[in-house]
A and B are shown apart, each in its own frame.
Chain A
């Protein structure tokens, strides 16, 4: 019994097989059991699922709470219905208009999201939903007020009008295509960027992701899906009135996602089925509905905080573990190729100052790093080393002075633009995305190296796949380079500290930085890892990249760096070759202490 089960679970195409089987059943079912009522309910479910898939992109993956998504559906529904009934458009341009209008409004909704934190923003979207609800009833000249829009015709293709069954198949097809496209998209650089913006905006910008553009992208795309669902809603119901879109309509979709499992691909599907279908089956309990919802939600939060799909995943893993099967997927294979050379950039920091309130963090600091050189910045804790890195990579504004990379001024650029200009970096506390695999974290670093559009990613066009394969090969190569290939598929959050650092270096390298800045890469590394780090940095220098490293391990610095700058209290104390700086009396007393004797080893 257990062995047959194990053989079944080990079948590599299990998931795909189940999904295809499910699709076949859904496509064939109406021929056998397709009563008018069932088709109506099933089509409506499909429309709701579509809305929820779109909202899941924004909320589950993008982390933005929108309580106004139902209003976007209403806009799509009215746009399609009014053009079809009053202007006699056919369904196809009407649906397109519905998507464009919803997307346009979604774009407007996105704007406050850049200024407000999550919950204030959620309130704004709720207010927005109220405004739309008001417009639907009050702007009678356009919307026909409470009477609504009546007699919405069925979609037609080549003169043939869709029956209820055709509409069901059509909606089912759209749901399947949207899910496949969404899966492709989430597996691409856009999906990783979205999660990065949600979980660690600093890591996202350091990989060249523009927070503004990714958020707008998520809003617009999820709004367009809501608009499409609205158009389908209209033709399916044939009559729409403002009462179809009450204020809690929006809230329901958010609940659907939480119920199903936010940030999980199947979450909105399962959530919508349970949320909208169960009440249809339990019409006898109509008056108890809210109480049941409330109780179910409480239980869910307690026992399945990641929704029904999250709970199912947990059980699945437990089952596999019990049968002795691994829960870590196999590392994907990719073609092997040598690591390509990088043209190191020249860095010049001229007279840079920075004050925080009354404290001078940096006082007219100069730093020159020639192309391909490995340059260390050392100094006591609080002397401004990390501040200097943060100024170069754009996280702090420069009060005074100039910074140039390859002769191009960068001091007024945003962090993601500086990353795109070829400045990669790591952080003192590794900034990985804990819920993504190590490999996915490293792939995030390839965000700017890949050029394909979101559409070609969603459609999995050959050009996009080629690029993704190239990134994958490169990511695996760099993971090998830092000694983490065996752990590529584990969750990054489960790696020990030292290995998280190495993974972060691999992420920066995948972006092929002309200037790589490492903030205390050796902190917390074991002796063997230290050796590996030394080799790693030497290898990075061998590729040609310029490296700026903030580090307290002076032996490492002496081994791998040809230049050292010592800071103290925000000013340059000494600068030059390591043996000169480390024998400078001021540096020894301010920073090194009695225990460290760097010069003697070689002498």
Chain B
């Protein structure tokens, strides 16, 4: 009873298997959005590396740090941060939605959990602003 069959029944041997093209994710809206969500993580990593670069420059002393600061005030850096920001925001929206579906059950609906996430996010953002800066 506990050992599963591992092969199809003998009469079913000439089955036809459809191949899945590598572009499988382009066929549906849900999988395209899924891919965008997954690749948002590249920008998450990129920003983590930006933060590391900033701390490294700081550890090198004022000269190196000020050179990096001057660069970070440029238009190019602003554009890069806008792009990273857009992907990070998409990550955030999808993350909060999924967390609602995982933890929302019983009296606490998925929507309520997602709403709590946003409240915590706003509080954390204000916290970063006042505490860190």
Partners in one complex: no
